Amino acid sequence: MRAYVAIFEARFRALLQYRAAALAGLATQVFWGLVRVMIFTAFYASSTGAQPMTLPEVITYVWLTQALLMMLPWRPDPDVEQLIRSGNVAYELVRPVDLHGLWLARAVAQRTAPVLLRCLPMVVLAYSVFGMAGPAGPLPALAFAVSLCATVALSAALTALLSVSTFFTLTGRGLHSLVIGVLNLMSGAIIPLPLLPEWIQPLVRVLPFRGLLDTPFRLYMGHLPPEAALQAVGHQLLWTVLLVLAGRWLLARALRRVVVQGG
């Protein structure tokens, strides 16, 4: 276990160095958030019908999305991708640790460090200036915190799975942009999931992606009551386990037929 913690720490500290990138990212995400809030405000002003979410809830949802966007497993670990493509993954194989565990530890760092750099100033700004609401109460706040931890695990499991898939696709770009599409839609990054049409909701509920953004957000604002937290977090953790198992199985298959180019 100590080895994995050390890997996580090293990667985490390395990622914290990218402060200029974080600043640029922060500005971009504030801009995006403002535009999206204006769009939703205009939509809500144009319709009097009852919606599954109120405008203030949607605004909070948008700012939470902007703050935690970097948690989404959009792409595999870039270093691992490079290792596989160059054949240097051979060095990884001789290390005295479990390969999938190693990549998982790296993925946890990749999904937390950039978020930490961005989310605090973002939340402060959104909360004080842009109309983001606080958590609905102490219990929702607690449920949010627990669910967010499960989100990190789920996101890391997906990242590691994507990294492993590089063994099969090599160029990566195509498959990964397909993943980005599904991920953006089904996690709530494009529009809050309750606003999607009714006929797609059963699919949304089954897939793991809602656990990446939607679940913690709705717990935060009490849109999902704290009593529902157990089931919601259970869904996240169940998928985490399934994705880790899938990643391990795929990796074992890949390693059975991998031929490392010399040179």
Partner 1 sequence: MLESLRVYGCYVAVALRGQLQYRGSVVMGALGNLMVTGVELFGLWALFDRFGQIQGWTLAEVALLYGMANVSLALAEIVGRGFRVFDQLVKSGDFDRLLLRPRGTAFQVAAQHFELARVGRLIQGLAVLVYALVAQGLLRPGAELVLVVGSIVGGACTFMGVFVLQATVAFFTIESLELFAIITYGGVETAQYPLSIYGDGLRRFFTWVVPLAFANFVPGVVVLGRPERFGPEWLAWASPLVGVGFFWVCLRVWRVGERYYRSTGS
Q: For binding to partner 1 (CB under 8 A), which residues are involved?
A: 21, 24-25, 27-28, 31-32, 34-35, 38-39, 42-47, 49, 51, 171, 173-178, 180-182, 184-185, 190-191, 195-197
Q: Cβ of residue 214: shortest distance to partner 1, in angstroms?
A: 14
For partner 1, the closer CB: 195 or 238? 195
Q: Cβ of residue 77: shortest distance to partner 1, in angstroms?
A: 19
Contact 157, 243 (CB under 8 A): yes
For partner 1, the closer CB: 60 or 240? 60
What are the angstrom distances between the C-alpha of 171 and each of 155, 176, 256?
22, 10, 20
Q: Cβ of residue 108: shortest distance to partner 1, in angstroms?
A: 25
Q: Cβ of residue 92: shortest distance to partner 1, in angstroms?
A: 25
Q: Cβ of residue 168: shortest distance to partner 1, in angstroms?
A: 13
Query: What residue type is 219 in one-letter code?
Result: L
For partner 1, the closer CB: 196 or 246? 196
For partner 1, the closer CB: 1 or 42? 42
For partner 1, the closer CB: 125 or 195? 195
Token pair 């535009």: residue = 35
Contact 153, 8 (CB under 8 A): no
For partner 1, the closer CB: 137 or 181? 181
Tell me the three-class secondary structure of the chain, residue by residue: CHHHHHHHHHHHHHHCCCHHHHHHHHHHHHHHHHHHHHHHHHHHHCCCCCCCCCHHHHHHHHHHHHHHHHHCCCCCCHHHHHHHHHCCHHHHHCCCCCHHHHHHHHHHHHHHHHHHHHHHHHHHHHHHCCCCCCCCCHHHHHHHHHHHHHHHHHHHHHHHHHHHHHHHHCCCHHHHHHHHHHHHHHHCCCCCHHHCCHHHHHHHHHCHHHHHCHHHHHHHCCCCCHHHHHHHHHHHHHHHHHHHHHHHHHHHHHHHHCCCCCC
Q: Cβ of residue 135: shortest distance to partner 1, in angstroms?
A: 26
Q: Cβ of residue 156: shortest distance to partner 1, in angstroms?
A: 23
For partner 1, the closer CB: 178 or 245? 178
